[in-house]
A and B are shown apart, each in its own frame.
Chain A
Amino acid sequence: GENVEQHPSTLSVQEGDSAVIKCTYSDSASNYFPWYKQELGKRPQLIIDIRSNVGEKKDQRIAVTLNKTAKHFSLHITETQPEDSAVYFCAGTYNDYKLSFGAGTTVTVRA
């Protein structure tokens, strides 16, 4: 199956700075890479996703990049705000249906 590794496990940034989370995957057949945000005590919710035929995707302050050759993808959050504080999970699909998640990154935005 797919093995997704995520770094760092914790990230503390000053409000207004950028945050970057990196993930690597093992299955070269994986072709869908979503990112989920989970606020404390809440359910995970999709914030952005990227498919293997695209190298980069942006949505306001959030962007994701994908390097299929190196089998890694990254989440970039610019101009961080207190409401960006949460746990972020990357994931990759394998066998078409199964999502394999990274261990998560706890992001803290300091005011």
Chain B
Amino acid sequence: NAGVTQTPKFQVLKTGQSMTLQCAQDMNHEYMSWYRQDPGMGLRLIHYSVGAGITDQGEVPNGYNVSRSTTEDFPLRLLSAAPSQTSVYFCASSYSGKNTEAFFGQGTRLTVV
């Protein structure tokens, strides 16, 4: 049982490049979400999904797209990377979303130069 798996762990992008951060969970969780973590700002919600085919925006969605074609996978796409997107990204999943523990992936450290 791997839990929540994110790839890659580290990535360097040039300004304007696009890429996809992968997230997969094997716990059959309905709810998945993406956060970014910046120093002194905690974790901020980018996008979330309450089930396959359903996604919605969080606090800081601009510059990011998501899709949820299966229960297991929730990729995050950066459309045109900017230095302001330099951050550590965490994917999380939980059984139902409401008042249940969120399990986090190991994180992706992204640097945009």
A residues sitting closer than 8 Å to B (CB atoms) are 1, 4, 6, 9, 31-32, 34, 42-46, 49, 51, 89, 93, 96-104
The smallest C-beta distance from A100 to any residue of chain B, in angstroms, reads 7
B41 contacts partner chain A, Cβ-Cβ < 8 Å: yes
* Chain A residues near B107 (CB-CB < 8 A): 43
B67 contacts partner chain A, Cβ-Cβ < 8 Å: no
Select which of A4, A6, A93 is within 8 A of B99 by beta carbon. A93
Asked if A44 and B104 make an inter-chain contact with CB atoms under 8 angstroms apart, the answer reads: yes
Mark contacts of B6-42 with chain A using CB atoms, 8 A cut-off: 1 yes-contact digit, 0 otherwise. Answer: 0000000000000000000000000101010000111
Instruction: Give A105 to B102 CA distance when docked, in angstroms.
Output: 19
B74 contacts partner chain A, Cβ-Cβ < 8 Å: no
- A45 with B42, Cβ < 8 A, contacts A97-B48, A97-B98, A98-B48 known: no
Q: Chain B interface secondary structure, helix, strand, loop or mixed?
A: loop
* Chain A residues near B90 (CB-CB < 8 A): 43-44
Which residues in chain B, 37-71, are within 8 Å of chain A measured between CB atoms? 40-45, 48, 50, 58-59
The smallest C-beta distance from A61 to any residue of chain B, in angstroms, reads 20
B106 contacts partner chain A, Cβ-Cβ < 8 Å: yes
With most chain B CB atoms within 10 A of its CB, the pick from A6, A44, A89 is: A44
* Chain A residues near B43 (CB-CB < 8 A): 44, 89, 99, 101
Name the CB-closest residue of B to A43: B104
- A97 with B106, Cβ < 8 A, contacts A44-B43, A46-B101, A89-B43 known: no
The smallest C-beta distance from B56 to any residue of chain A, in angstroms, reads 8
With most chain B CB atoms within 10 A of its CB, the pick from A42, A93, A98, A102 is: A98
Instruction: Give A89 to B31 CA distance when docked, in angstroms.
Output: 20
Instruction: Give A7 to B98 CA distance when docked, in angstroms.
Output: 26
Instruction: Give A1 to B58 CA distance when docked, in angstroms.
Output: 10
Asked if B106 and A43 make an inter-chain contact with CB atoms under 8 angstroms apart, the answer reads: yes
* Chain B residues near A51 (CB-CB < 8 A): 99
* Chain B residues near A97 (CB-CB < 8 A): 31, 48, 50, 97-98
